[in-house]
Amino acid sequence: MTSWSRWRGWSGDETGSAASGNAAAAAAADCGRNPLRRPLDDIEAAIISCVIIFFVLASPLLCVVTGRMADSSAVAEQRTEQSWHPVTAVLDESAAAGLIGLDGEWGTSWVTAHWNLRDGRTVTGLLAVDLNARQGQHLTIWVTATGQVTHPPLSQADIDDRVASAVLATAAGLGLLVAIVVVAVRVIAGRRRMAAWAQSWEEIAPQWSARS
């Protein structure tokens, strides 16, 4: 075979391969599909789309459920605090004579004080006061039905804050979960894609070497 014949044969093979590739690319283009797109790309896109759709649909529902649960819990707590009431306490000693730094609270002093209940009984106990509190000073405190010192009962603003915090935490937690899943899918798909490219190159490389 002459060099001209060999060149024509090689050119014919290349022309046939190019024609086949062009035909495949044209067919893919007719179908609206990228010829370089692999099935793995479709799987990755489908998973990410499903995750995003799940977030869009589930996030409002979970936020509503979480908000209602937080509201019910706060309302139940508020009902148990209905018997709490404010009273006026009288300090029996100054802050300087009290216990400073108790439980690591160096900005307060625990002093002895007394207060009267609605039934006329007098209760004596310890109160946390500022370091400038004086003996005989009057303070308004909240007590339970038995006269024990407690915190102020929940207000409607406190309930609203709890509901808002629960809703925001739910949305943020679900969003973080979705982000982690999407990143994991992208990383796994990327590794598989790189492995597939490496395998394809190992199959094609000898053909390129032989032609060169």
Stretch 150-156: mean pLDDT, rounded? 93
Cβ atoms 83, 150 nearer than 8 A:
no
| Choice between 110 and 103, residue whose per-residue pLDDT is larger | 110
Q: Is the pTM of this model over 0.95?
A: no
Tens digits of per-residue pLDDT, 21-60?
Answer: 444 444 444 455 566 567 777 888 899 999 999 999 999 9
Instruction: Give the pLDDT score at 199.
Output: 76
- How far apart CA 10 and CA 1 sit, in angstroms, is 12
| Choice between 149 and 2, residue whose per-residue pLDDT is larger | 149
Helix (H), strand (E) counts: the chain: 3, 6
Instruction: Give the pLDDT score at 89.
Output: 96
Is 81's pLDDT higher than 80?
Answer: yes
Instruction: Give the pLDDT score at 159.
Output: 96
Cβ atoms 154, 71 nearer than 8 A:
no
Is 123's pLDDT higher than 90?
Answer: yes
